[in-house]
Amino acid sequence: MKIGLFIPCYVNAIYPDIGVATYKLLDYFGLDVDYPMNQTCCGQPMANAGFENDAFALAKKFDEKFARYDYVVAPSASCAAFVKFNYPSVLKDKHLCQTSEKIYDICEFIHDIIKPEKLPGKFPHKVSVHNSCHGVRELHLSSASELNIPRYSKIKDLLLLIEGIEIFEPAKVDECCGFGGMFAIEEPAVSECMGEDKVKNHIATGAEYITGADSSCLMHLQGIVERNKWPVKFIHVVQILTSGL
């Protein structure tokens, strides 16, 4: 099983420790992991802003660079979802898309493909799980409340493998945090209010940490917490899962 590790641009620039933790987790399971050099942005910011044609060159480069791997794994639900669901239309009639069917968010990949029964290490802390919109409604990392189906959470399933952890979820469990990529730029006041409401719900659980699979959402919420000096910390799911490695 050959794994191509994709580290999104914002993770590389702002949260490199998450990229390192992702590699450590994949390596722990004995997988053949490769990090293609000179990888770039997947093109999501351009397409989300309405400039899908400008995303073509990046999408083509990405697809060619990762085509030879059995799986492509990334620590970002939104970037993985963009490749999975948008690349076929971005590349349509110009380039045969080879990666959309084999890209996974790291949590999705570990839960659905590796299916571990245990992980080493302890994390004796209270954490509140943040469910991002892409993770819930595109990658199905957890059940969407509006579907009225039995509740599940792949992120919680993975976290329960770690000894000592206490897991909580906020009220309005899968309501948007207000980041939404371009939405946070075009509607900053609304985005900030949504983020504040979300953080307050997380804090109300009594958690010490807010965790999730999307660093973009966590970055948005962390900015709100730091401006307001609220008493909660942030950690990506994969960093908890590698706490004993």
Structural domain spans, the chain: 2-114, 126-241
Q: Is 185 helix (H, G, I), strand (E, B) or coil?
A: helix
On whether the CB atoms of residues 235 and 242 are closer than 8 A, the answer is no
The strands making up 126-130's β-sheet, listed across from edge to edge, are: 166-168, 126-130, 209-212, 233-236
DSSP strand E in the chain: where? 2-5, 32-34, 71-74, 103-105, 126-130, 166-168, 209-212, 233-236
Closest residue by Cα to residue 9 from 52, 43, 60: 43
Q: What is the pLDDT of residue 183?
A: 85
DSSP 85-98: HHHHHHSTTTS---
2-114 belongs to CATH 1.10.10: no
Q: What is the pLDDT of residue 238?
A: 97
**Comparison of pLDDT for 105 and 121, the residue scoring more:** 105
Percent of the chain whose pLDDT exceeds 70? 100
Greatest Cα pair distance, the chain, in angstroms, is 52
- 121, pLDDT greater than 90: no
Helix ranges (H only) for 29-179 are: 44-48, 52-66, 77-90, 106-109, 133-137, 154-159
Sign for the pseudo-dihedral over CA of 151, 153, 154, 160: negative
Instruction: Report residue 72 as tokens.
Output: 């492509």
Q: What is the pLDDT of residue 117?
A: 94
When pLDDT is averaged across residues 94-123 and rounded to a whole number, the result is 95
For tokens 């989300």, the residue is 48
Question: What are the residues whose beta carbons fall under 8 Å from the beta carbon of 39, sequence distance 6 or more?
Answer: 6, 7, 62, 65, 66
On whether the CB atoms of residues 90 and 127 are closer than 8 A, the answer is no
When pLDDT is averaged across residues 79-95 and rounded to a whole number, the result is 93
CA distance 151 to 77: 19
| DSSP state for residue 153 in the 8-state scheme | B
**Identity of the residue numbered 73:** V
Q: What is the pLDDT of residue 71?
A: 98
Question: Model's pTM, two decimal places?
Answer: 0.94
Rg (CA), the chain: 17
Instruction: Using pLDDT thresholds of 50, 70 and 90, give the confidence band for residue 120.
Output: very high
**Identity of the residue numbered 149:** I
Q: What is the pLDDT of residue 205?
A: 98
Q: What is the pLDDT of residue 93?
A: 86
Q: What is the pLDDT of residues 146-200, one digit of tens each?
A: 999 999 999 999 999 999 999 999 999 999 999 987 888 889 999 999 999 999 9
Q: What is the pLDDT of residues 25-77, one digit of tens each?
A: 999 999 999 999 999 999 998 888 888 888 999 999 999 999 999 999 999 99
